[in-house]
């Protein structure tokens, strides 16, 4: 050990582990302590303290406030080694084994949740949730890491304080709520509140502090008769005033538009019973009700119907001395441990962390649903919406006709209920009965409702359902069905179109037909095919129009130029006139132009223009295979175009990249690209299989030289075996 200070730290950590953990491998913790201390020996935090203090404090939180096992403590000590030092994950694996390396690797990958682009946010959420499913200790470690970072946030720049506080309030606190980590959730919320709304925080904290003695005096007066009665009944108990945390009080003041004096449930008492019999909680509630007047509508029985995160307790509100309302919570010692430490308390005595019991399996089922169809990407906006929707919802309790309990978010409808029973029932949900009465599918359910779903094989999801369902399961199944239905319609419409064009011996490609599609009210070819499938567009009518155009092109005299056809012919003539010897891009305001997605030309490429119907001049690479096919039959629509001598624009280009995956590789690649001339990354899609990665990166570049320099730099990155321009 380097000196007495660190020896004392290690001794303290081991003592806490012995007190809180079932078994402790002291040699393993000692080796991790020394490894982390050595790895971070030159690192300093923003506060000026040695960086090692951070993983040490995180390990203390894991050992004391989220007590799981010695593996979690070791992972906490090592969690920043790979990210902030020269050590790699393979070094952790060699020294401490696969399990610890897996937790450290998972924690490293989800360190930065928020990036500058929505797609990266969504991908970070996917990684976070996937890590949770694989080993829930990854997320528990991240809670401890974030908690200590928030406790030391004062040393960071103002903009970083705001960003981390917002991230904590939006993501980490709701996740802690779902994990049942009440104390950590409260502290995270209060710390975030402190930096996001400092004036409101300080004012509320100062007011509550000034009234603390008055509040404590009232709680003592309230407790005395309860204590006397429980002692007479020889009940083993602990009773205490429960201080409301600042963020909760602030939210109630805001949502109810009330001043502090008007928030009635500032007074709260918790009774913890030293018993294993949950019925004793109801006995104590009866005793309290005999002393103080209960408010029936404020009674909540979370013992018979626990929350999804395992929380159990009786919540009751009674009228105390001076007519003030007091909230009372009654629970057993075991319930209290789960209420405070959530899933950690469930796992505290587990022998095998790789297998969850049924209760925990049900608890994280909402996470697993997101990965039901891993081969199909959910739009990022919808993905983010689903995460936030599922993180922090109040719950209702409803029943099937057979009495089976279903826990759903507040605001759920019969469609949500149907999907919670089975996806097939949801997909064919026709109507519903609540308490024996027919209700509309957008009816909002209440706790205690008994719901019966009526199905029909002819009923399928529609877009309106997505507007009023609230569960991720329902939304994902509805959107999946609609997407598949759209794909089926497009395929069917395309098949029908191809059969009709083949019958008429009409040779025409999508770029040529898009203008006609616009004339018939379709924005793109997908919608064109879908409308053909549904009968809104008659394929034979479109074909006749095209044949007329080919055989009898309209003259370009003013008398014949009217409507959509006239506009197109006028554009064709104008485009030819203004591009004679002049670059297309020098006349941006004169006519419509766009870049072909099949080849994505950028300045420096040899290009050519093709006049389309409805989309203006389409710019292709001269070597583009699609352009070559079109030019064979439509030579009259070809324009000679060129790049302007001065151009400050940016253009999308795709880079195909592959190689051998390693920790931190994606971060290194994105940093390299964004660091070169402030290149903007528009999207990243990387697939990893058997330690090999392959994918594409969409970037904004100024010209071919800009793109080629990026590709050259990527080829030099360790692990990258191939990097080249991608057509699309």
Active-site residues, by number, are 83-84
Could you tell me the two tokens for 600? 């994505």
Report in angstroms the alpha-carbon separations of 625 from 404, 509, 604.
61, 13, 19
**∠ CA(488), CA(491), CA(497), 5° rounding?**
140
* DSSP string for residues in 273-310: ES-S-THHHHHHHHHHHHHSEE-GGG-EETTTS--TT-
Question: What does each C-alpha distance from 725 to 202, 670, 706, 710 come to in angstroms?
Answer: 55, 16, 12, 10
Taking alpha carbons only, the member of 522, 549, 526 closest to residue 537 is 522
What is the rounded CA–CA span in Å between residue 142 and residue 188?
A: 12
The two structure tokens encoding residue 503: 């019958």
In 600-715, DSSP assigns E strands to 607-611, 617-621, 638-639, 651-660, 680-689, 692-701
Report the candidate in 419, 408, 410, 454 with the shortest Cα–Cα distance to residue 434: 454
| Rounded distance between C-alpha atoms, residue 385 and residue 370, angstroms | 12
Question: How far apart (Å, rounded) are the C-alpha atoms in residues 620 and 598?
Answer: 8
- Taking the C-alpha atoms of residue 239 and residue 291, their distance in angstroms, rounded to an integer, is 16
Cα 328 to Cα 67, 76, 256, 271: the distances in Å are 27, 36, 21, 8
Residue 373, strand partner residues: none
At 236, give phi and psi (nearest 5°): -85, 120
Neighbours of 616 (CB within 10 A): 19
268-273 vs 325-332, strand pairing mode: parallel
Return the ∠ at Cα 242 (arms to 236 and 248), rounded to 5°.
Answer: 150
User: In the beta sheet, which residues pair with residue 699?
Assistant: 653, 681
Alpha-carbon gap, residue 178 to 366, rounded angstroms:
11
Q: Give the per-residue SS3 of 341-404.
A: HHHHHHHCCCCCCCCCCHHHHHHCHHHHHCCCCCCCCCCHHHHHHHHHHHHCCCEEEEECCCCC
User: What's the length of the chain?
Assistant: 728
Contact partners, residue 285, CB within 8 Å, separation at least 6:
314, 316, 330
Residue (of 532, 620, 653, 638) closest to 576 by Cα position: 638
Distance, CA of 543 to chain centre? 46
* Residue 631: exposure state from Cβ atoms within 10 A (0-12, 13-18, ≥19): middle
User: What is the DSSP-derived secondary structure letter of residue 555?
Assistant: P
Tally Cβ neighbours within 10 Å of residue 173. Answer: 27
d(C-alpha 69, C-alpha 349), whole Å: 9
């Amino acid at each position: 050990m380097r000196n007495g200070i660190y020896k004392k730290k290690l001794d303290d950590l081991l003592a806490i582990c012995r007190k809180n953990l079932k078994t402790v491998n002291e040699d393993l913790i000692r080796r991790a302590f020394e490894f982390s201390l050595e790895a971070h020996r030159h690192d300093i935090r923003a506060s000026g303290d040695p960086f090692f203090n951070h993983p040490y404090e995180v390990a203390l939180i894991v050992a004391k406030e989220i007590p799981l096992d010695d593996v979690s403590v070791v992972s906490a000590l090592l969690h920043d080694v790979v990210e902030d030092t020269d050590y790699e994950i393979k070094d952790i694996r060699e020294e401490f084994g696969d399990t610890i390396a897996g937790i450290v690797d998972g924690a490293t990958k989800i360190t930065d949740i928020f990036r500058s682009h929505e797609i990266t946010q969504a991908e970070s959420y996917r990684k976070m949730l996937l890590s949770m499913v694989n080993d829930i200790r990854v997320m528990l470690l991240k809670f401890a890491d974030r908690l200590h970072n928030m406790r030391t946030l004062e040393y960071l720049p103002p903009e970083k304080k705001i960003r981390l506080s917002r991230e904590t309030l939006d993501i980490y606190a709701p996740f802690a709520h779902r994990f049942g980590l009440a104390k950590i959730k409260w502290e995270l919320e209060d710390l975030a509140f402190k930096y996001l709304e400092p004036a409101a925080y300080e004012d509320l904290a100062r007011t509550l502090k000034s009234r603390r003695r008055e509040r404590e005096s009232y709680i003592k007066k309230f407790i005395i008769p309860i204590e006397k009665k429980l002692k007479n009944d020889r009940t083993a108990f602990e009773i205490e005033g429960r201080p409301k945390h600042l963020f909760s009080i602030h939210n109630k003041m805001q949502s109810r538009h009330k001043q502090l004096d008007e928030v009635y449930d500032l007074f709260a008492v918790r009774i913890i019973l030293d018993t294993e019999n949950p019925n004793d909680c109801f006995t104590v509630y009866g005793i309290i009700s005999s002393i103080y007047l209960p408010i029936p509508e404020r009674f909540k029985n979370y013992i018979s119907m626990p929350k999804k995160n395992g929380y159990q307790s009786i919540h009751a509100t009674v009228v105390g001395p001076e007519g003030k309302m007091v909230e009372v919570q009654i629970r057993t010692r075991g319930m209290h441990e789960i209420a405070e430490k959530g899933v950690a308390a469930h796992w505290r005595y587990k022998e095998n962390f790789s297998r969850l019991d049924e209760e925990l399996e049900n608890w994280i089922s909402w996470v697993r649903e997101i990965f039901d169809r891993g081969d199909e990407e959910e739009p990022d906006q919808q993905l983010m919406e689903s995460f936030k929707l599922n993180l922090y919802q109040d719950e209702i309790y409803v029943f099937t006709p057979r009495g089976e309990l279903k826990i759903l978010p507040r605001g759920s409808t019969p469609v949500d209920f149907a999907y919670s029973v089975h996806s097939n029932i949801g997909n064919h949900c026709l109507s519903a009965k609540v308490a024996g009465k027919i209700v509309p599918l957008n009816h909002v359910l209440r706790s205690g409702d008994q719901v019966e779903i009526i199905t029909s094989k002819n009923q399928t999801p529609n877009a309106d359902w997505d507007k009023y369902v609230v569960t991720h399961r329902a939304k994902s199944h509805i959107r999946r069905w609609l997407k598949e239905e759209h794909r089926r319609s497009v395929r069917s419409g395309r098949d029908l179109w191809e059969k009709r064009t083949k019958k008429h011996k009409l040779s025409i490609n999508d770029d040529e037909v898009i203008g006609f599609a616009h004339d018939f009210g379709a924005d793109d070819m997908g919608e064109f095919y879908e409308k053909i499938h549904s009968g809104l567009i008659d394929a034979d009518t479109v074909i006749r129009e095209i044949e007329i155009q080919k055989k009898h092109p309209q003259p370009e005299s003013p008398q014949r130029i009217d409507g959509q056809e006239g506009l197109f012919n006028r554009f064709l003539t104008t485009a030819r006139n203004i591009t004679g010897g002049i670059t297309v891009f020098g006349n941006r305001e004169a006519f419509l132009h766009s870049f072909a997605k099949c080849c994505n030309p950028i300045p420096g490429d040899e290009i050519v223009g093709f006049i389309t119907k409805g989309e203006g001049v389409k710019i292709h690479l001269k070597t583009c295979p699609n352009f070559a096919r079109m030019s064979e039959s439509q030579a009259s629509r070809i324009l000679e175009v060129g790049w302007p001598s001065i151009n400050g624009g940016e253009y999308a280009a795709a880079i195909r990249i592959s190689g051998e995956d390693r920790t931190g590789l994606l971060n290194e690649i994105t940093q390299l690209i964004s660091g070169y001339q402030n290149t903007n990354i528009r999207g990243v899609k990387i697939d990893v299989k058997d330690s090999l990665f392959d994918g594409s990166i969409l970037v904004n570049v100024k010209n071919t030289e800009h793109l080629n320099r990026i590709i050259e730099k990527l080829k030099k990155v360790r692990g990258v075996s191939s990097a080249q321009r991608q057509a699309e």
